[in-house]
Amino acid sequence: MPSLLQRAIHAIDPETAHVAAIRALAAWGTAGTPMAPPAPALPTRVAGIDFPNPVGLAAGLDKDARAIAGLFALGFGSVEVGTLTPRAQPGNPKPRLFRLVEDRAVINRMGFNNGGLAAGIARARAARRTGVLGINVGANKDATDRVADYVAGVTAAAPVADYITINVSSPNTPGLRDLQQGAALAELLAACMAARGATPLFLKVAPDLDAGMIDGVARAAIDARVDALVMGNTTVSRPPLSARDAGETGGLSGAPLRDLARARLADMRRATGTAVPLIAVGGIDSGAEAYARIRAGASLVQVYTALVYDGPGLPRRIVAELAALLARDGFASVAEAVGA
């Protein structure tokens, strides 16, 4: 991104800029030309799904499935929309999104703000897609039966999505992360697996899990035959930060999350072996970092916050760099490099 344009965008309130970006991507997806050609060296098959390349967009950017075609046109092999909840909800009070420019990071406490499951699914069904579409589902903040909310999301998404992610990792819905452990997780997975039909089901967990919780998630996912684990989401921990808004509450994402995300990926790889494919999220902003996560055991990677700082050319650059690194080290495919 030209530095002047980037500075202009960063002068705008973060949430206003976010909404404007989604609108621009939605318009461009209707009439624009894709920025990135297919990458023939990088197709990979995970959970029975053929991905054009292993670089995906993480959930949270396009919460309401408004810009699917435009996001694919950036060069992503997969786009995950949502989190969608059964009923529309406004999310947490504003301000709730903060750029930490000096740290190349973001803090958010959005709180699953979205227009509801029915509207999001309808847009996803109508969208033109050139890659794999994931739909991320969650529970309403005031839900009396959160498992029922997840089942409703999985049931609605199954006929439309290439895969569904159940998100129990957001720190911005009180009590949601309690679903990541013990009997609560086993009950949730059993109910969602029964509702998903033939559509692959992924589980998204937080990077703040301790060793015992990692082992519990791994065992539950293996026992339930979950198709993949998304490792992870934003963190409530706070490594050293420099920006003015570093003290805001919410989930931290971006470059400062990198070390924690790497460590939790390694922990989950040890806990699962090769029984469940892993998807790495957190602090990925280059082909080299994507390659490192793949070598550490991830079958796919997802990005989000780095787009704020590197602009819309980022996925195309990561894919090109990743292809070069695989060729340099003699890997004929992404799958050969996983865990190597």
- How far apart (Å, rounded) are the C-alpha atoms in residues 22 and 258? 26
Could you tell me the pLDDT band of residue 36, with boundaries at 50, 70 and 90? Answer: low
Q: Which amino acid is at 259?
A: D
- How far apart (Å, rounded) are the C-alpha atoms in residues 252 and 235? 5
Average pLDDT over residues 137-166: 96
CATH topology assigned to domain 3-337: TIM Barrel (3.20.20)
Q: What pLDDT score was predicted for residue 153?
A: 97
Mean pLDDT over the full length of the chain: 92
Q: What pLDDT score was predicted for residue 28?
A: 82
Could you tell me the pLDDT band of residue 240, with boundaries at 50, 70 and 90? Answer: very high
User: Among residues of the chain, what percentage have pLDDT more than 70?
Assistant: 94
Q: Tens digit of pLDDT for each residue in 201-226?
A: 999 998 998 888 899 999 999 999 99
The yes-or-no answer on residue 299 being catalytic is: no
Q: Give pTM, 2 decimals.
A: 0.94
Q: Considering Cα of 24, then 19, then 312, then 69, what sign does the dihedral take?
A: negative
Q: At what angle do helices 258-272 and 287-295 cross, to 10 degrees?
A: 30
Q: Tens digit of pLDDT for each residue in 87-138?
A: 999 999 999 999 999 999 999 999 999 999 999 999 999 999 999 999 999 9
Of 3, 78, 169, 170, which one is the catalytic site residue? 170
Q: What pLDDT score was predicted for residue 38?
A: 58
Could you tell me the pLDDT band of residue 143, with boundaries at 50, 70 and 90? Answer: very high
Could you tell me the pLDDT band of residue 4, with boundaries at 50, 70 and 90? Answer: low
Q: Tens digit of pLDDT for each residue in 119-131?
A: 999 999 999 999 9
Q: What pLDDT score was predicted for residue 318?
A: 96
Whether a cis peptide bond, with omega within 30° of 0, leads into 95 is yes
- How far apart (Å, rounded) are the C-alpha atoms in residues 178 and 162? 27
Q: In the numeric block, which tokens belong to residue 231?
A: 């490792």
Residue bearing the bigger pLDDT, 35 or 126 = 126
